[in-house]
Structure 1
Amino acid sequence: MPTRQMHLVAYSKTGPTARHVGGWRHPESVLNDFLKPSRYIQYARTLEEAKFDGCFFADLIGIYDIYGGSYETYVRNGGQISYLDPMVVLPVMAAETRHLGLGITLSTTFHNPYHLARWLGSMDVMSGGRVAWNIVTSAAELEARNIGGSLPPREERYDRADEVLEACCALWGSWDADAFILDKEAGLFADPQKVHYVDYQGKWVKTRGPLPTPRSPQGRPVLMQAGSSDRGRDFAARWAEAIFTDQRSLAALQAFYDDIKGRMARFGRQPEDCAILAASTFVIGETESIARERAEYLRSLIKPDLWAARVSGSLGADLSKVADEKGLADQQGTQGIRGAEDRLRQAMSDKGLSLAEAVKDASNDEIVGTPSQIADHLQYVFESGVCDGFIVAPTYFPGMIEQFCRMVVPELQRRGVFRREYTGRTLRENLLGKEGI
């Protein structure tokens, strides 16, 4: 059996669809439970039975209203809105599982480090050390407006993020692991010498500490990140223990992998300190022809204006008013996710597409085939050494996730490239083979 095994993390949203904008229209898509605990309980059980490392919830502080200057297209056509705060959903899932990692997206730009450290630390303690923080710096002006501020320039957002992470890590370390005494007879509850002020002060944030929340079994939450800009990659190389990347070719994935692992050394980190996970979504069929028919059917469910609204949100520019790359840059300002822009430019370069053609082409990126063919693809990519595993995003819910867990995962396990049982107590142990920090 190979000593190196891939990791699998599921991409999630608190709504009827997570990545495929037409997925909610599929006949097998379940719509009557996305506001109920039962949906997320079953989802967590399915992933844990399949031995996924974890899942994480993407989130936005608002509803995209960039396309056409309104949220009308998003709301009417079933855009990917996070209808529930994942902070409420994750504890429900944690209570029904014992091993599954649980990740949440929170912004360093619009939250202060004390609240972040306490929210995440409390969930990490309650789950037994299974929480991950998907760190974002935010890329949409609408988020700033919803909290009464403005979106800072990209570089400034990352400078603040560095300070927020420094402060959070100090707060998570403000309790020693053995601080509790719990001696009823002597009347000693905890040792105050093992609880510490942090007195952190930076340019952007400051906090005194200590947290009232003690250290979790894994020391602190696992840190996830998805930055693609040069500054974002430096941030990831310094902090990330898992990176979610959406490269569109093997060569691009190899270049990203080598770049991040090389940058990590500059921050005194080893390559194995971070798992790089490639985004992937699937259409599965009993035969290849059935899978391709299903893929075509799923594509027919995508409304072009909703897809344009989705891409507009990612790019931070209204594509109904953009004719070329210059128009795109003029509209973006400080907005936009650099990874989404990079994928667009890559498609334009590789395939000789115009901006409009590349936007349309970006909606066609599913891996299509039988369970064996999909396992072949994942094994080939993984064993090529360009990633450490995959982020699995559903086309429609719960069907695609259930198909993947019940048809593809057993094939990966049979080949020895994915675990049959959990071996660690915490998410960090299962994902990185490392004990608490």
Structure 2
Amino acid sequence: MSGSERKLNLNAFLAASGHHEASWRHADTKPELGVDINHYVKITQIAERGLLDSVFLADGYWAHSGSLEPFTLLSALAAATKHIGLIATVETTYNEPFHIARKFASLDHISKGRAGWNIVTGAGPAAEQFSRSKHPEHHERYESAEEFVEVVKRLWDSWEDDAVRNDKINDLLIDPAKVHKIGFAGKHYTVQGPLNIARPPQGYPVLVQAGSSETGKDFAAKLAEVIFTAQLTFEEARSFYTDVKGRLAKFGRTPEQLKILPGLSPILADTEAEAQDIEAELFALIDHEGAAKRLSSRLGIDLSNHALDDLVNLDGAQTTEQVSGMKSRHQLILDLVEREKPTLRQLINRLAGARGHFTFTGTPLQLADVIEKWFRNGAADGFNIMPQIYPSGLERFVEKVIPELQNRGLFRTAYEESTLRGNLGLARPLNAITV
């Protein structure tokens, strides 16, 4: 696309009651719907009505994560929708490449080319759930993840696009000459192949990545086609955008081959005062004592001796280098405290909205201004929309913000293509085995 044709890419981040940590207590939400398929069908159909590119389901193996298993949920959503992409988070550390290649190929076939894989290494320790003695270190997870993704891609390529013949006259269901073993033998994985299902309609499901550490940025620049990232300010977002786009050339890639979508967590109302009232309601529902304990655990210091209205003192906090989990999110909090000098209450409230993503409270027109600024000034290719309250927050975004973005020529007025790749403006990958 040329610069004049460039359009926003928008994804809706699925959640049971919303992305504010106290949303489940708000009067407008029903947390009991967190395992109700009809709830997610409703949300996804709202997003599709708004012509969003995709919906995204986070996932992890920690206790009480509360989410349905992604392949099961997204397969059901595929049957209830026609156009919208379906992105699942799946860890590399506690899975096998063959399983993941097969499941994503299946989801892509079921959805007719609308699947995406959010590749994570697994920030939350889960070794005890998988007969492992310890959770791998950050660098170990990324090293094995790169090999994992390579195996999965080769398995998808193990079937040529025209391997399935269904030729009744010549008694040829599948052409065996077009199905190949991959014979992969690496440091972490040894996989013979081939896969046991035909190549996905998109070639590969769209490859998404959500890490923003130095290792994560290189991983994304080499392998990802979409990045979900947490950036608290326009300046930080533009710096991240420039940094990651600037890394692509060394991997033989162009800026158009990678879409950067910062998280955007809005509270919307017809007036700014009404939106601020909703925000105040949510702040009042926060368990500040529990939040302080979680923040203490994340930072590696005891904040129990802080009064809520004391300035946060991070003396003795872990450095980012000492953290094995989500390094970029840890650094984001350290930078926030250094930049804004918040009280403990202010820090907890700031993070409660969307766990470190950019939050917005105001009117639809004000939000459209913010989106346009970030999009036109090198800070984003679009956004990962994270309403603080579901489903009403997404409904307001679709009904009020989308038309304004369309009026400004920033967003589509109809789906252009039949696949997620097509709607994102991403090319279908060639089969590496036959090239």
- TM-score (normalised: structure 1): 0.89
Measured after TM superposition, the shift of residue 436 of structure 1 is 4.7
Moved more, 344-353 or 43-52: 344-353
Match of 2:50 in 1: 50
Deviations 1:328-360, CA, capped at 9 Å, x for gaps? 428996532112112112212212357886455
Amino acid at match of 1:240: A
| 1:39 aligned partner | 39
Residues 283 and 349, structure 2, Cα contact 8 Å, conserved in 1: no
Q: Is the 8 A contact 2:13 2:56 kept in 1?
A: yes
- State the partner residue of 2:130: 147
* Aligned residues of 1:424 and 1:433 also touching (Cα < 8 A): no
Which of 334, 340, 351 is matched with 2:329 structurally?
340
Residue 384 of structure 2 aligns to a residue in which SS?
strand
- The residue type equivalent to 2:86 in the other structure is L
Q: Secondary structure at the match of 1:232?
A: helix
Tell me whether 1:205 sits opposite 2:189 in the alignment.
Answer: yes
Offset at 1:187?
Answer: 0.9
2:361 counterpart residue number:
368
2-side partners of 1:123 and 1:271: how far apart? 28
| Among 186, 211, 216, the residue aligned to 2:170 | 186
1:128 aligns with 2:130: no
Match of 1:71 in 2: none
The letter for the 2-side match of 1:122 is S
Q: Distance in 1 between matches of 2:260 and 2:302?
A: 31
- Cα contact 1:12–1:56 (8 A) shared by 2: yes
Q: Is the 8 A contact 1:283 1:367 kept in 2?
A: yes
- Displacement after TM superposition at 1:184 (Å): 1.2
Find the aligned partners of 1:101 and 1:203 in 2 and give their Cα distance.
33
* Residue 382 in structure 1 maps to residue 366 in structure 2: no
**Unmatched runs of 5 consecutive residues or more in structure 1:** 64-74, 76-80
Q: How far 1:429 moved relative to its partner?
A: 1.1
Alignment of 1:339-358 (within 5 A): 339-353=328-342, 358=347
State the Cα deviation string for residues 359-401 of structure 1 (Å, max 9, x = none).
5543355211111111111111111121100001121111111
1:93/1:184 CA distance change after superposition, 3 Å: same
- Say if 2:420 is the partner of 1:427: yes
Q: Any conservation in 1 of the 2:6–2:410 contact (CA below 8 Å)?
A: yes
Corresponding residue SS for 2:159 = coil
Contact 1:199 1:207 in 2 (8 A): yes
Counterpart position of 1:405 = 398
Q: 1:429 to 1:319 in 2, by over 3 A?
A: farther
Q: Judging changes above 3 Å, is the alpha-carbon distance between structure 1 residues 319 and 110 closer, same or farther for their aligned structure 2 residues?
A: farther
* 1:414 pairs with 2:407: yes
Deviates more, 1:334-343 or 1:317-326: 317-326
Q: How does 1:97-116 map to 2 (within 5 A)?
A: 97-116=81-100
Amino acid at match of 2:379: V
Of the structure 1 ranges 16-25 and 90-99, higher mean CA displacement relative to structure 2 is found in 16-25
Question: Match of 1:344, as an amino acid?
Answer: I
Counterpart code for 1:127: S
What displacement does 1:11 show? Answer: 1.1
* Range with greater deviation from structure 2 (407-416 or 344-353): 344-353
Instruction: Please name the residue that 1:60 is paired with.
Output: 60
Identify if the C-alpha distance between structure 1 residues 420 and 159 changes in structure 2 by more than 3 Å, giving closer, same or farther.
Answer: same
CA distance in 1, matches of 2:296, 2:193: 40
* C-alpha displacement of 1:260: 0.6
Q: Aligned in 2, Cα 1:226/1:95: closer, same or farther, shift over 3 Å?
A: same
Deviations 1:137-196 (A, max 9, x none): 11222x122212211111111110110011011001000011111111221111111100
Corresponding residue number in structure 1 for 2:11 = 9
Separation (CA, whole Å) in 1 of partners of 2:246 and 2:100: 29
Offset at residue 275 of structure 1 (A): 0.2
Contact preservation (8 Å) 1:29, 1:397:
yes
Residue 34 of structure 2: SS of its match in structure 1? coil
Question: What amino acid sits opposite 1:435 in the alignment?
Answer: R
Sequence identity percentage: 35
Which residue matches 2:262?
278
- Could you tell me how far 1:123 is from its partner in structure 2? 0.6
Alignment partners' CA distance in 2, 1:205 and 1:294? 50
User: Which one-letter code corresponds to 1:48 in the other structure?
Assistant: E
1:25 alignment counterpart? 25
2:305 & 2:135 partners in 1: Cα distance?
22
Question: In 1, Cα distance between the equivalents of 2:346 and 2:302?
Answer: 12
Contact 1:24 1:397 in 2 (8 A): no
Q: Is the Cα contact below 8 Å between 2:59 and 2:67 reproduced in 1?
A: no
Contact 1:275 1:432 survives alignment (8 Å) = no
Deviation at 1:311, TM superposition (A): 4.6
Q: Deviations over 1:279-320 (max 9, x none)?
A: 11111111111111121112212211343466567x485766
- 1:435 deviates by 3.4
Question: What is the DSSP-based 3-state SS (H/G/I as helix, E as strand, rest coil) of the residue aligned with 1:165?
Answer: helix
1:95 aligns with 2:79: yes
Equivalent residue letter for 1:164: F
Structure 2, unaligned runs of 5 or more: 307-312, 431-435
SS in structure 2 of the partner of residue 387 of structure 1: coil
Q: Which amino acid aligns with 1:44?
A: T
Equivalent position of 1:222 in the other structure: 206
> Take 1:319 and 1:206, find their aligned partners in 2: how far apart are those partners?
45
Question: Structure 1's 312 and 145: CA in aligned 2 closer, same or farther, altered over 3 A?
Answer: farther
Distance verdict in 2 for CA 1:248–1:170, change over 3 Å: same
TM-score, normalisation: structure 2: 0.90
What amino acid does structure 2 have at the position aligned with 1:148? Answer: S
State which drifts further: 271-280 or 328-337. 328-337
Amino acid at match of 1:61: Y
- Cα distance in 2 for residues equivalent to 1:369 and 1:193: 60
Q: 1:145 to 1:7 in 2, by over 3 A?
A: same
